[in-house]
A and B are shown apart, each in its own frame.
Chain A
Amino acid sequence: MNQLEKEAYLREYSLLKSKGKPFFPYAVAKDGWMAVIVMVTIILMSLTLGAELGPKVDPTTTTYVPRPEWYFFFLFEVLRIIKPPSLVPLAAIGVPSLCMILLFLLPFYDRSPERRPERRPIAMAAAFLTIAAMAFLTYEGANAGSPNQIDMEPPPSVMAGGEEAIRAFEAGKQVVAQSGCLACHKIGENGNTGPGPDLSEIGGRLPRQAIARTLVNPTAPMPPYVDLPDEKRDNLVEFLAQLK
């Protein structure tokens, strides 16, 4: 907006304002009704939906699907979609900051004096694209598994082994999920294809001892997992050895 347009706007606005009504009681009445609606909505939601308290924190499980508040789903979905590890910092920090900067600076790069939506095609297109993208990401995020969770049924050989075998399988699965292996390995439908090899059938390829040795003394870039407690390591090796 140049100086002329600014003055034109101010003149027009003061005309409009002088013809308007006082804030009290006209706008106050509407705001008051709105406040009542807001309060009633909150109270009804509290009464019908309650305030559940989940099970107590247990840092040793990952069977629990971590879920942010629903309006953060879109953010987590961005983080989930951008898979290659080298791009994760970009997704985690880059995308949200970029969006926020664009939002902050909006009045400074959109300087046209036009205010009517139908005459601001670029702004409207950008807005609808943003809304559609956020709705889509929220929807996808709502239906996604968590990044550190493995969705995998025990294979038939484990099922045949009875309850004990299934429990060991599940325990190992949790350790793998917790230890960040999925960052570099694919297991079934989960995790990334690289830099490490696909582990979906590792049990058929490597004997048990070799898997255990890999964990303690791996080839770079895989980090060694020497600090893993023995029980967890056993579970993990057991789990991987059963993937055939």
Chain B
Amino acid sequence: MAKLPTTSGTRPRGTRAETTEAPATAPQRNKLQETGVSTIDWLDERTSLSAGARWMMFRKIPKGTNWFYTLGSATMFAFLSQAVTGVFLAMYYDPSATRAYESVRFLTNEVFLGEFVRGMHKWGSTVMVILIFLHMARTFFFGAYKYPRELNWVIGVVLLILTLAMSFTGYLLPFDQRSYWATTVGVAINGTGPLVGPYLSDFLRAGPEFGATTLARFYAIHMLLLPGIIAAMIGAHLYLVARLGTTAPPWIRAESSPELREDSK
């Protein structure tokens, strides 16, 4: 253990070159590349991940693939943004009927960038819902739900329902008038049911008790259960996308000539 020949002088310089991307001299670049390659080799020897990554990244996408095909991944980015901002909100949120509102008020008014992050989460949900509908419309109009991608459509519908459920459960959490009454509307609609309706709604509404358990339950569903299922479902969805390949736009034909010909639209 007396000598570690490469580390003494080169490691710090090498790291700096990596982070600042300063032009490195040839021998340094080689050493750097070597380090990178050997790290990946080390990982790959133990996980065989690179085959999977290559399978995912270097699969071919048919010619004609256009911007409409980015709507799915855009939805995924919106979801990731929701996950990240949600973690920051969870650091301050307190799901008890008495303190929920105060914790959100504190987050919004006092915490550094609190309102900004809450705004991102709030508007991110709108963006995600719009994107998921656009993505669904794209797959519908392109006939992408047909053989062999039926299952991916079904998983997609599950994702749609889960996304809407996220929105519904999240809406109650700030526990202000708007969220409380919106959630109570459902209860009030029960109240219009025949005969037992009014009793049912009184029972469900039951004063402040409405919040005590409902809020904690909504919170657990919103930040643990649904995101977990959504993440798993997105995984399955993307696996199938890579496995089956994305469709070509329906008006692209391959049959006639080696040249791809665009049918009259």
A180: interface (CB < 8 Å) = yes
CB distance from A226 to the nearest CB of B (A): 12
B235: interface (CB < 8 Å) = no
Please, which residues of chain B bring their CB within 8 A of the CB of A61?
A: 177
Query: Among the listed A45, A76, A89, A115, which residue makes an inter-chain contact with B127, where contact means beta carbons less than 8 Å apart?
Result: A45
CB-CB under 8 A for A179 and B124, given A38-B77, A85-B192, A120-B143: no
A53 near B157 with CB under 8 A, answer no
For B188, the closest partner residue in chain A by CB is A148
B180 near A107 with CB under 8 A, answer no
Query: Among the listed B129, B142, B179, B192, which residue makes an inter-chain contact with A180, where contact means beta carbons less than 8 Å apart?
Result: B192
- Which residues in chain B, 225-265, are within 8 Å of chain A measured between CB atoms? 245, 247-248, 250-255, 260, 263, 265
A46 near B120 with CB under 8 A, answer yes
- The complex places the Cα of A51 from the Cα of B101 at a distance, in Å, of 14
Most chain A CB atoms below 10 A, which of B126, B181, B265: B181
Please, which residues of chain A bring their CB within 8 A of the CB of B141?
A: 117, 124, 127
Surface stretch bound by B, among A10-18, A152-160, A231-239: A10-18
- The complex places the Cα of A104 from the Cα of B171 at a distance, in Å, of 26
B254 near A6 with CB under 8 A, answer no
Query: Which interface class (under 10, 10 to 19, 20 to 34, 35 or more) fits B?
Result: 35 or more
A107 near B153 with CB under 8 A, answer yes
B201 near A9 with CB under 8 A, answer no
CB distance from B61 to the nearest CB of A (A): 5
A88 near B182 with CB under 8 A, answer no
Please, which residues of chain B bring their CB within 8 A of the CB of A100?
A: 157, 161
Please, which residues of chain B bring their CB within 8 A of the CB of A113?
A: 146-147
Surface stretch bound by A, among B14-22, B34-42, B52-60, B216-224: B52-60
For A70, the closest partner residue in chain B by CB is B126
Chain B positions 175 through 201: 1 when the CB is less than 8 Å from some CB of chain A, otherwise 0: 111111110110011111111011101
For A107, the closest partner residue in chain B by CB is B150
- The complex places the Cα of A23 from the Cα of B217 at a distance, in Å, of 42
A193: interface (CB < 8 Å) = no
- The complex places the Cα of A70 from the Cα of B255 at a distance, in Å, of 46
Surface stretch bound by A, among B4-12, B25-33, B65-73: B65-73
A183 near B191 with CB under 8 A, answer yes
- The complex places the Cα of A16 from the Cα of B194 at a distance, in Å, of 59
Query: Among the listed B60, B118, B146, B149, which residue makes an inter-chain contact with A51, where contact means beta carbons less than 8 Å apart?
Result: B118
A183 near B208 with CB under 8 A, answer no
Query: Among the listed B104, B119, B192, which residue makes an inter-chain contact with A49, where contact means beta carbons less than 8 Å apart?
Result: B119
- The complex places the Cα of A26 from the Cα of B131 at a distance, in Å, of 21
Surface stretch bound by B, among A29-37, A161-169, A200-208, A209-217: A29-37
B210: interface (CB < 8 Å) = yes
CB-CB under 8 A for A39 and B77, given A19-B254, A127-B140: yes
A22: interface (CB < 8 Å) = yes
B145 near A66 with CB under 8 A, answer no
Query: Among the listed B59, B150, B263, which residue makes an inter-chain contact with A108, where contact means beta carbons less than 8 Å apart?
Result: B150
A223: interface (CB < 8 Å) = yes
B60 near A30 with CB under 8 A, answer no
A54 near B176 with CB under 8 A, answer yes
A125: interface (CB < 8 Å) = no
B211: interface (CB < 8 Å) = yes
Please, which residues of chain B bring their CB within 8 A of the CB of A127?
A: 137, 140-141
CB-CB under 8 A for A114 and B57, given A12-B254, A13-B62, A42-B127: no
CB distance from B140 to the nearest CB of A (A): 6
Chain A positions 116 through 138: 1 when the CB is less than 8 Å from some CB of chain B, otherwise 0: 11101001100100000000000
CB-CB under 8 A for A76 and B254, given A100-B157, A221-B195: no
Q: Which 4 pairs between the two chains have the least Cβ-Cβ distance? A: A46-B119, A115-B143, A66-B181, A54-B176
Sample of 20 more A-B contacts, CB < 8 Å, known A17-B61, A30-B69: A18-B60, A22-B57, A23-B56, A27-B70, A39-B77, A42-B127, A43-B120, A45-B127, A54-B178, A56-B175, A59-B180, A59-B205, A67-B181, A104-B157, A106-B153, A110-B145, A117-B141, A148-B191, A223-B198, A227-B202
A-B residue pairs in contact (CB < 8 Å), sample of 25: A6-B148, A13-B248, A17-B60, A19-B260, A20-B61, A23-B60, A24-B58, A34-B77, A39-B81, A42-B127, A51-B108, A53-B104, A54-B179, A59-B207, A65-B181, A67-B182, A69-B168, A71-B164, A107-B145, A107-B149, A110-B145, A115-B144, A116-B251, A180-B192, A183-B193
